[in-house]
Amino acid sequence: AKSGPSAVTNTMGAYACQRKTPLEHHNAVLTDALLLLAENADFCTNEGRSVAFKRAASVLKALPGPVRRMEELQGLPCLGEHCQRVIKEILEHGASSEVEMTRHSEHYQAMKALTGIFGVGVKTAEQWHRAGIRHPADLVSSEHKLNRAQRAGVEYYEHLRVPVTKAEADRIGEIVKRAVDAVLLGAEITLTGGFRRGKQTGHDVDFLITHPDEGREEGLLPKVVSWLEARDLLLYQKTNKNSYLEAKEWPARPPSNMDRFERCFSIFKLQRPWAALEEPPQSGERGAAETPGWKAVRVDLVVTPVSQFAFALLGWTGSQLFERDLRRWAGQKGMSLSSHALYDCEQKRYLRATSEEEIFAHLGLEYIPPGERNA
């Protein structure tokens, strides 16, 4: 074993699922910079480069203290030449010229605004950008055809830009619970996504719905949606049926990143008398009459059979990089992990689990609690 300051960092695993990554960490200046370059690589449809920057940022998030000198990075995984150059410049000069140039570039800013519209991915944003569109407002007067999701995205753009608070997520949880209780006795809802990892804000609210009796959950979402719509609580929704059939999954169709649960991507209309109490309008700044009595909030509802619940919970808790590395880790162990199941390719059989702990054990990983999956 080596001695000296790099001895500890040398032991850091190269997969995010081998590390504990807390929400609060000590290297935000560096990770913000690297994540901006990752975002920009996404905007240039360079996924490989984007993932490399995200991995590097993730390693820095897992460090026990702030990086002060380049030598402290010795032996750490996932820090390529490009990343090291960026880090070095920030440590020496307080900022990276590449990051600042990117941040102020017209392409980055336009792509950030356009991909920030619900229903708009990088490909569409890039097409619009080439046609001279720079901002969602440019779409209102343009000839460009928008689909139903994008029309909602443009309409509620200013609302959806504002982060969702934990209090709002809890309030939506109460509403979803009431809807689910009304249409199926005994159904259970679980808050997943970033809020389950301990985040205090998010870009949306994610829920998993199940029922202890396998099969009872089938066809639940259309009823929940009707209940919500009857009460004027939805501004937009798109519901998909479950298309997962285990018998047909393997080896015919290897698990993909996209799961096939019954699901609903929606925009809730959240009435907010309590928000007005939290943040009273500043006198002269914004009159009470202009403050809408509601806020548009993105909500994802996913229904899972109880036999797949642990896999769905693990798959929907994130972070996205944590999930990506879990699947990569499984692959390297001769297994295949999805949000539905874990398949052992050598034994040619599914490995069952009723808890996340069991899935980590199947994978030969130390259990990482949700609050430490912020990779």
Pick 67 or 299: Cβ nearer ligand CTP: 299
Pick 209 or 335: Cβ nearer Mn ion: 209
Pick 46 or 271: Cβ nearer Mn ion: 46
- Point out which residues bind ligand CTP (CB under 6 A): 193-194, 199, 202-204, 206, 258-259, 315-316, 318-320, 323, 339
Q: Which residues contact 250 (CB under 8 A, 6 or more apart)?
A: 336, 343
Pick 153 or 194: Cβ nearer Mn ion: 194
Shortest distance, position 201 Cβ to Mn ion, whole Å: 10
Q: Taking the CA of residue 325 as centre, how many other CA atoms within 13 Å lie in the half-sphere pointing to its CB?
A: 24
Q: Which of 42, 206, 259, 325 is catalytic?
A: 206
Shortest distance, position 200 Cβ to ligand CTP, whole Å: 10
Q: Tell me: does residue 370 bind Mn ion (CB under 5 A).
A: no
Cα separation values, 317 from 199, 310, 351, 372, Å = 11, 11, 20, 11
The pair of structure tokens assigned to 63 is: 């460090």
Shortest distance, position 75 Cβ to ligand CTP, whole Å: 29
Among 136, 153, 193, 255, which residue interacts with Mn ion (rule: CB under 5 A)? Answer: 193
Element (DSSP H or E) covering residue 209: strand 205-210
Q: Are strands 294-303 and 205-210 parallel, antiparallel or unpaired?
A: parallel
Number of C-beta neighbours around residue 238 at 10 A: 14
Shortest distance, position 77 Cβ to ligand CTP, whole Å: 21
State the binding partner of 323 from Mn ion, ligand CTP, none, CB within 5 to 8 A by kind. ligand CTP
Pick 126 or 206: Cβ nearer Mn ion: 206
State the binding partner of 238 from Mn ion, ligand CTP, none, CB within 5 to 8 A by kind. none
Shortest distance, position 237 Cβ to ligand CTP, whole Å: 15
Q: Which of 204, 213, 325, 344 is catalytic?
A: 204
Cα torsion angle, 237, 171, 262, 124, sign? positive
Number of C-beta neighbours around residue 373 at 10 A: 26
Site for Mn ion in 295-314 (CB under 5 A): 300
Question: By beta-carbon distance, which residue lies closest to Mn ion?
Answer: 193
Q: Which of 138, 181, 300, 344 is catalytic?
A: 300
Q: Taking the CA of residue 250 as centre, how many other CA atoms within 13 Å lie in the half-sphere pointing to its CB?
A: 18
206 is catalytic: yes
State the Rg of the chain over Cα: 22
Question: By beta-carbon distance, which residue lies closest to ligand CTP?
Answer: 318
- Closest to 208 in 3D by CA, of 317, 320, 369, 318: 317
Shortest distance, position 71 Cβ to ligand CTP, whole Å: 33
The DSSP line for 87-107 is: HHHHHHHSS-HHHHHHHH-HH
Shortest distance, position 240 Cβ to ligand CTP, whole Å: 10
State the binding partner of 374 from ligand CTP, Mn ion, none, CB within 5 to 8 A by kind. none
Instruction: In whole angstroms, give the CA distance from residue 362 to residue 341.
Output: 12
Pick 139 or 264: Cβ nearer ligand CTP: 264
Q: Which residues contact 224 (CB under 8 A, 6 or more apart)?
A: 176, 179, 180, 183, 209, 264, 301
Pick 75 or 116: Cβ nearer ligand CTP: 116
> How would you list the strands of the sheet with 342-344, edge to edge?
335-337, 342-344, 349-350
Question: Three-state SS for 277?
Answer: helix
Among 42, 155, 204, 259, which residue interacts with Mn ion (rule: CB under 5 A)? Answer: 204
Binding site for Mn ion (CB under 5 A): 193-194, 202, 204, 206, 300
Could you list the active site residues? Answer: 204, 206, 300
